[in-house]
Amino acid sequence: MTTPRELIPPFGGFGLGLRRTHYDDFLSGHVAVDFVEVISENYMIEGGRQLRILEQVRASLPVIAHGVSMSIGSAGGLDRDHLARLKILEQRIDPLFVSDHLSWTRTSAHNSHDLLPMPLTRDALDVVCDNIDEAQNALGRAMLFENPSSYLTFPEDEMTEWEFLSQMGQRSGCYLLLDVNNIYVSSRNHGFCADDYLAGLPLDRVRQIHLAGHDPATPERDIIIDTHDRAVADPVWELYAKAVAMLPQPVATMIERDEDIPAIGVLLDELDHARNIAGGAGHKALEPA
């Protein structure tokens, strides 16, 4: 279990993902952000141009290490090699936060390289909390975990996702990375109320928010898909405004864009919109680094 010295203080900055398309922009030192976020697995290697660039950016900006392969829902436990390599990266860049997802990605024999949904059961909660304890103890710090986007539910489910996340945080001492787009996507796909989701979370444990675009439903496909390949949709902005108005503390907010990545100025305009919404809710934004 985590200890009081590992508590994560609030940080009210606004940032973007560090993607290859924008390496030169960030190396120039003129991007008006308070932090960058990287996909941890892309930098969990020794040497290489990507790691050198990350270290250069880290010299002037805080970095968040956001993983996609910890697989905290795996019944067979964590991949010790993956955890060891993440620890090396954590020691090298001293990230602001280390985060991953409420999902599973692998069995002992196969890695799906996809964020697969969890059954919302007490047994699954036991597995997740045990794995989070192992990860946090290995890293020597508390972590953030992100709510997923989902496209199916399990008949065995015993609780809502927000109840699962609440108990997960209480038992493991982890914090939450609140993906507002994922809440919207899942609420539309499963028919629950996004407002109920927000109201049911331990909002004092939220330390970061993700905002992203999604592929809307079509006449041929009645589900919404989290894609990170377009601008944040208006309903997601509306849900973000509700979320920041409810939060008891400022949080780090970032725009995620992983496909069809536009010029840096387009993303900075979206980030300014997030700043304005947060400011309107009374959360003072940091001055850009």
Q: Give 245-267 pLDDT, tens digit per residue.
A: 999 999 999 999 999 999 999 99
Q: What is the band of 244 on the pLDDT scale with cuts at 50, 70, 90?
A: very high
CA distance 224 to 22: 28
Please list the residues that pair with 99 across neighbouring strands: 66, 144
Q: What is the band of 5 on the pLDDT scale with cuts at 50, 70, 90?
A: very low
Q: Is residue 139 part of a domain?
A: yes
More confident residue, 237 or 287: 237
What radius of gyration, in Å, describes the C-alpha atoms of the chain? Answer: 18
- Average pLDDT, integer, range 24-53: 92
pLDDT at 287: 45
Q: Is residue 40 part of a domain?
A: yes
Average pLDDT, the chain: 91
Q: Is residue 286 part of a domain?
A: no
Q: Is residue 119 part of a domain?
A: yes
Q: Is residue 8 part of a domain?
A: no
Q: Is residue 2 part of a domain?
A: no
Q: Could you give the number of structural domains in the chain?
A: 1
- Which helix (H) or strand (E) segment holds residue 26: the answer is helix 23-28
pLDDT at 108: 55
pLDDT digits (tens, 9 = 90+) for 125-161: 999 999 999 999 999 999 999 999 988 889 999 999 9
Q: Is residue 204 part of a domain?
A: yes
pLDDT at 147: 96
CA distance 135 to 280: 37
Could you tell me the CATH number of the domain that includes residue 237?
Answer: 3.20.20.150
Q: What is the band of 113 on the pLDDT scale with cuts at 50, 70, 90?
A: low
pLDDT at 118: 86
**Nearest one of 154, 148, 202 to 174, comparing CA atoms:** 202
What residues contact 209, with CB distance under 8 A and at least 6 apart? 177, 178, 179, 180, 240, 243, 244, 251, 252, 253, 254
More confident residue, 136 or 280: 136
pLDDT at 3: 43
- Which helix (H) or strand (E) segment holds residue 136: the answer is helix 122-139
Distance of CA 150 to the CA centre of its chain: 15
pLDDT at 105: 77
pLDDT digits (tens, 9 = 90+) for 179-189: 999 999 999 99
Residue-number span of the structural domain to which 235 is assigned:
13-280
Tracing tokens 């536009």 back to the chain, one arrives at: 262
Q: Is residue 257 part of a domain?
A: yes
What residues contact 126, with CB distance under 8 A and at least 6 apart? none
